[in-house]
Structure 1
Amino acid sequence: MSIEAIGAIGAVEAVEPAALGVPAAPVAAPGFADWIAREVGQVDATLATSENDLRRLATGQVQNLHEVMIHMEEAKLSFQLLAQVRNRLLDAYQEVMRMQV
């Protein structure tokens, strides 16, 4: 074993796996927690929009009452859906915890 051979290892440039024909490692798909966080963010944005519309209606800046009511109903329904998903998740978790191993 010669010292020159060991020194030559450092001279080799880093090669990308794709350049060698080796497929890259698969990228992990977004998980359930990411999906829940994204949905909660959307519900929060919907609630903020309806609250903003309601404030504008109270100050007389909105001419179309129908749009405000539609945004409020969308916010209400999206929040109710999120609450039901949460309830079903808790029920499923409690059911799993009751299982005997």
Structure 2
Amino acid sequence: MSEIVALGAVGADPAARILDSIYSVHLLDPAAQSGGAAGTSAASGNFADLIAHGLARMNAKVAHADQMVTQFALDGSTPIHHVTIALEEARLAVEMAMQVRQRLLEGYRELMNLQL
């Protein structure tokens, strides 16, 4: 377990820990749902690999939602609630990627403004 996750788990109430585990497993890592170990390989890599893996997961969520919408529009065999869930997962993934991008830019700007 990483230091950040361990620090977050110390003061967190049980409900928050359950929500965090659901979010990290189901929304961010589709391979973790099938029991794969893909989520652990990115955590042990360097920062660039971590960012690239996160962007790939976000892209997979968006592509899956697009596929679900297309399938629903063409033949209607996909239930609407599955389409809605896929769209919301994609929206959350894109929103999270935008927040990470914004924080990285803020950190970069702060480093560039440091007086040496």
Taking structure 1 as the reference length, what is the TM-score of the superposition? 0.69
Query: Does the alignment pair 1:72 with 2:57?
Result: no
* Greater alpha carbon shift after TM alignment, 70-79 vs 53-62: 53-62
- Runs (5+) with no aligned partner, structure 2: 1-43
Alpha-carbon RMSD? 1.0
Identity of aligned residues (%): 34
User: Structure 2: how far apart are the matches of 1:63 and 1:40?
Assistant: 26
2:71/2:78 contact within 8 Å kept: no
Taking structure 2 as the reference length, what is the TM-score of the superposition? 0.61
User: Structure 1: how far apart are the matches of 2:74 and 2:45?
Assistant: 42
Larger radius of gyration between Structure 1 and Structure 2? 1
Sort the Cα spacing of 1:63 and 1:40 in 2 relative to 1 into closer, same or farther, 3 A.
closer
Deviations 1:16-54 (A, max 9, x none): xxxxxxxxxxxxx51100000000000000000000000
- Runs (5+) with no aligned partner, structure 1: 1-28
Shift of 1:60: 2.1
Residue of structure 1 in register with 2:66 after alignment: 51
Q: How many residues align?
A: 73
